[in-house]
Amino acid sequence: MISPDGPQKAVARALDTLGTGAYLADEQGLIVAINTRGEQLLARSAADLVGRDAHDLLHRTSCGEPVPRAQCRIRESILGGRTQQGEDEWLERGDGTLLPVGWLATPCDIGVRPSTTLVLFHPAGRAGRPGRRPPGGGRLSELERLALLAQTTTLLTSTLDIHEALRRLISLVVPRIADWAVIDLIGERDEVLRFAVAHAEGGTVVFREDLQGPMPPVPQESPMPLSRALRGVASSFAGPETYQGPPDSGIAVEQRRLFEATGMHSAIMVPLRSLHDVLGALTLGRADQPDRFIATDTALLEDIARRASLALENARLYQRQRQVAETMQRHLLPKLPRSPGLSMTVRYLPAPDASHVGGDWYDAFTLTDGATALAVGDVVGHDLEAAAGMAQLRNMLRAYAVSQQKPPSKIVEWLDRATLDVAEVSMATLVFARMSENASGQCELSWTNAGHPPPLLVTREGVARYLTDGHGMLLGVTPEQVRPDATAELPPEATLILYTDGLIESPGRNLDEGLDRLRRHAAALAHRPLESFTDELLARARPPDNDDDVALLAVRHGPGRSSC
């Protein structure tokens, strides 16, 4: 499985694409990352800068004295979360000399910390002073362009959710560059979807859902601007007059409706292209801003589109990989057996993060002596390799259990030894149990636990308790160990719940809290039919910030004797 870099690495790469010095500061003014050009200008290494207070370390007066905190505009911008730029500031280099700089600081949400600020700086003596925006114009200064491109890269590469990436793109360009942003996407079967039509309204971005939705197919010979962009031909300018003539396609009809509804007087349509395909088109339009788009805007907007296309392609590949992993795991998970007197239901939920798909599994099958075997486990790892290891482990467990009528402990001992040489599994947790009728005619459960969360037993009266006996080490640690067995009689109409740790664990929460939450919800739902019981238990007990997949197997045996 291809594991994507974390947001921090993406940020570091993004900063190095800039042609000027740049660093990121957190909400306290501490340096989070700096690019190579920034290290060169400051004659300081990243190791010397990251984690240090930017103001205390760098900001100086022209005489080399520390700038009072209350008078430092760069610090004010960082702490206040406002975009500001300035001239003739001084930064102290590693060799003690002073560097006069022009600078721009702007908020930059990269999804790693609550808030960060991007600070761009260049030597004022060589690169000149930052340009100013002409009165009433929509043009960006060179530093503002650099800041926008940096934000585009850092924001879009720090998420692998396609919809989130596109929403971030819209928030970057509206209203900074345009009043309207339109995104059209091409699907795998060349179908066009108008994903978003958004505009600035009262300081927020508002989506026009009535203008969004499926679009007609892309005409292959049309010279109209959007059709050319969706074929990846070139960027084009357009206005309401462009689509006033007889339409040459269904897309032209939709474009006329778009211009009439939005009031755009000037627009530019830029292809969204990956290395191999056209992904769609980005349209930026102006209705309230008086300036029309001109040729000098094209380079900036195409650069934004290139960065957006790269992020979009990465997100698509990532989601495709998630679908492959999830499909593979669902096909590997078995169908439930039909056992007289027993009701069974299972649920499998993949992790919200695609990189966490892979290791959780369940199994249930009938043994040669008529007993029902139950298993739930979790292979260490969250990728396709873990999913493949899970399949090997499950198949070996089935083979041992069906061919050898031995207690669960003995089956798992053999399985533990076999994982070293046969299965590509480093470590795994597992509960393996057999449910059968004992000599007294009661339903009896015997099990062994290899480092897994304990099974939960809930009576029909709502008394819930964990089966904590029979606990041993997880698989792959000490394969020669002798494992314990545990036995318990199951009251009529009791429900047995086997599950993986995604149902009870979450970042920053105590495991005992998760276990207690699961127990209380299971007890409250004991009167529900099994399907409803399972769905509600999953909805109520699963932590809202869960970042792992969940497998859950619930078994309930009927009332009376001979029901197991």
Q: Is the domain of 405 the same as that of 532? A: yes
Judge contact between 115 and 26, C-beta under 8 A: yes
Distances (CA, A) of 215 to 183, 354, 489: 12, 29, 62
Q: Is the domain of 313 the same as that of 205? A: yes
Of the CA atoms within 13 Å of residue 129, those in its CB half-sphere come to: 7
**pLDDT tens per residue, range 39-66:** 999 999 999 999 999 999 999 887 778 8
Domain end residue (candidates: 305, 324, 343): 324
**pLDDT tens per residue, range 275-327:** 888 999 999 999 988 889 988 888 889 988 888 888 888 877 777 766 666 66
Distances (CA, A) of 110 to 34, 83, 118, 180: 14, 16, 10, 24
Q: Is the domain of 343 the same as that of 319? A: no
**pLDDT tens per residue, range 126-173:** 333 333 333 333 567 777 777 777 777 777 777 777 888 888 888 888
CA distance 80 to 105: 11
CA distance 283 to 166: 13
Instruction: Answer yes or no: is 99 within a domain.
Output: yes
- 3-class DSSP assignment, residue 306: helix
Domain hosting residue 412, numbered range: 333-557
Judge contact between 157 and 168, C-beta under 8 A: no
Amino acid found at 456: L
Mean pLDDT computed over every residue of the chain: 84
Question: 248: domain CATH number?
Answer: 3.30.450.40
Q: Looking at the 3D structure of the chain, how many domains does it have? A: 3
CA distance 24 to 54: 10
Question: 538: domain CATH number?
Answer: 3.60.40.10
Would you state the pLDDT for residue 327?
65
Residue with tokens 């008086």: 290
Q: Where are the alpha helices (DSSP H) in 135-187?
A: 142-157, 162-173
Q: Is the domain of 342 the same as that of 486? A: yes
Predicted structure pTM score? 0.51
Domain end residue (candidates: 96, 112, 146): 146
Q: Is the domain of 406 the same as that of 526? A: yes
Q: Is the domain of 493 the same as that of 421? A: yes
Check pLDDT > 80 for residue 469: yes
CA distance 276 to 214: 23
